[in-house]
Structure 1
Amino acid sequence: MTGTEEATAGSSPTDAVSRRIAALLTGLAPQGRNEIHAIFVLAATAELAAVVATDEQGVAAQIIPTGEVMALVRAHREASTALSEGPWWRYLLVVSMSGEVRTDYDFGDEPFPDEHLFDPDVYRADLAVFPRYRLPVWLGAHIRHGHRQSRPAEVAARAEPGAAVVETDLPALPSMVGRWAVLSAAFVAVGSPWGPRVLPALGMFEGVERSGSSLWVLPGDRAVLSGGVWNDPVLDAVYNTGAKMPDLYAGAPAWVANPMLDPRAGIGLLSFCYWWDRGRWYRGDSPAVADIAAAVPGVWSQESTAEIVAALIDDRTGDREAVRALVRAADRGKIDRAALTRAFADGDIDDAWLQLIMAGVAADE
C-alpha cells in the first residue's frame, strides 16, 4: 500500500476522521492490547473490514467494527474523492501502544490480495458513482477484459487460417529450452527463490517486477511462448481508452489454445504469444521481441544466459569458464552432471540436475 502517514496531531478533516475511528476501535479492544491493525476495503456497493488487537505477547484478538465505525470509514473514503487518484480502495489504520495513529491508502498500484478483490460488477458500480480518468492496468483488465484473450480449443479449431508473421529475433526452440533450463538450474543451485523454473514440457518465469511468461513444448517440434509485461502500454490503452485488443492469435494453428497459454490470458493481461512450428517462430499482433524482454528470462543468446549465471556465482565457489561451457552444452541439447558440478561446486546440485532432467537436456549418466 502507498499513501501518507498521519500523526494524532494532524489538523485536516481527514485526520480528524482517522483519529475518531482510532478512538472508537481502541474502545472496542480488550484490556491489555498492544496495537490495533485495521484494514478497510470499500467500494460503493461492497465493503469488508479486518481489525485485530495484539497484546505484548503478540496474541491477536479480533475486533468487530460497529456501525458507527463503518459509517466514518465510508465518510473517509468519500472525502478522498478530492484526491487526484480518486477515492482509495483500501485503507490501513494502525494505532500504536502509545496512541499514535498511522494510516496508509491503496489506490490499486499493485493487485489486491484475492481476499480483498471484489467481483467486476462491484467495481463497475463504484465507477458509476466515482468516475476515474484511468484505472491501473490490472484492475482495468479485471473489470473489462471480457474473456477477449481466451482461446478455447473449439474456438481455435474454427479459426480461419491466416498469414502469421515469421519472428526471427527469438532463439531457435532447442536453444531456448536449453538456456531456460540452465538458468533454472542455476537459480536452484544457489538456493534462490527467484528466476525461471522447469517442469516436464513447461518452462515458467515470473520476474520480480510482475512481468512473466510460460513456454510449453509440444510433441512434433511445436511450442508456445506467451506472457505479459507489467503495465503494458498497449493493454493500458485497451482498458482505459477503448483501443482495440490486439489479435495475439492471428494466423495461429488450432493447438495454440488455452491449455498452452500463460495464465495471464485468463485475466486479460497477456501481452504476447509466439508459437514455434517445425523450425520457425510465428506471431500474430504480438509486439517485437525487444518489447517483451522483461517478461522472458535471459535466453536471447549464449552470452546473455552466461552473464546471468555468472552473476549468480560471483560470491560463491564456482568457475566462470565452466559456466560458459555449461551454456554451450545447453545449446547442443545435452549437459552432463560433471559440467553442472564444475559451475556450481557448492550449490544444490541434485535439485539443479532435476531441472535439467525435466527440461530434457540432461545427458544420460
Structure 2
Amino acid sequence: MPSPASSDPVPVPRPHAPGRLVTPGLVDQHCHGYGGTDFATAGPEAVRTALAALAGRGVTRVVASVPTMPASEMLAAVRRLAPLVRSGDLAGIHLEGPFLSPARCGAHPPADLLAPGTGASRALVHALLEAGAQGGTDPGSGGGNAITAMTYAPELDGAAGLEAALLAAGVSPSPGHTDATADQFDDALDRLAGAPGPPAVTHLFNAMAGFHHRRPGPVPGALRAAAGGLLRLELIADGRHVDPAVVRDVIALVPDAVCVVSDASAATGAAPGRHRLGRVDLDSAPGSAPRLAASGTLASGSVSLDRALGLLLEWGVARDAAVRSVTATPARGLPPGRRDSGWVVWDAPGVPGDVVLPAGHPLARGR
C-alpha cells in the first residue's frame, strides 16, 4: 500500500511487515456497542472492556452511538460517556435521534421521537451540547465537543434551527432516518454548505426513502454532494443492510467520501440471544443480523469493522479505497487531536490484527 495521506489518522511511518497488510487503526464512527455491552446504558468500565475487545480486532477509534431514548436518558448517556471522550477512550459521541422521521425510525422507539422546533426540544439540544462541552478542552479530549454528530431528519419543522445550533457548537448535523423528498434534502444540503468539514449521511439507503425514477428521494442528492466533496456517506457493509454490489458501486463512484460503519450493537460479537439497544430489546441468532425482539425489524449491524473490511475486499472493492473507507475518511469527522489510532498489522483482511501499535511506538517507525 502507498504511505497514508496527510489526512490519515496516524502521521508516522508505518511498521515494517513484509507480506502483510498494514493499515492505520480502524475508525468506527457509528457503533452502539459490542460483545454484550450497550454504550448508551453501560457503565464506564463495561464500555472500556468493549473498546479493548474492539481494539484487539484493530478497531482503535470508536464513536459511541446513542439511540433515541427519552430526553432525560439521552442526556444521562452523554454525561456518562463524555468523560470517556475526555480521557481518550472514546473518539466521540454520536446521537442518533431523537429528531427522526416517524416514518423512517427503524429500531428507534416512535414514542421517544421529538420534533426539533419546540421549546422543549431546543432546551434539550442546549443541555446535550452543554454536557458534551464540559471539559472538552482537557488534554485527553483532543479539543471540541464530546458530541461529534447528531442524526436528524432534515424535513422536520425546526430542522434549520437545529442545524444552526449544532454547527455553532462544532457538532456535525448528520441527515438520516429521513422521509425527505429530493427537494427537501437538497435544501438541507444548501444549509450545510458552510459546515467546517463534510457532514456524513447516516447509513445511506437504510431508514430513508429509496430511489425511484419519479420520486428520487435523498439518495441522488447525497451521491451528487459526495462527488463534489461536500458530504461523506456512511455505509453498513455487513452483507445484510446493503447489497454488496451496491456497496462496491458506491465506493467506486465516490471513493474518497465513503465511511464504512459497523452500526454494531451489544448483540454484535456476543452469544446469540437477548440484548439491549438503549431502551429496546434485540434478538440475535447465528448467521443473522440482530433484530428488534418486538417486531423483527433489522436493528443493528451484524459484524465489527474489521470483518467489514474483509467483506469489502471479498466483494472486489479496491484495496486502497476499502482501507480508506474504514480509516482516513471517518477520521475526517473527528477533531484533529482525536485522530491518532495506531497501526494494525493483518495476516489477512477480516481477521483480528496480530499487532496493534499505538501512534509513536518505536516499532511503528519501520526500518
Q: TM range, normalised to the smaller chain?
A: under 0.3
- TM-score, normalised to structure 2, is 0.21
Q: Which has the larger share of helix?
A: 1
Larger RCO (CA under 8 A, 6+ residues apart) = 2
- State the structure with more CA Rg: 1
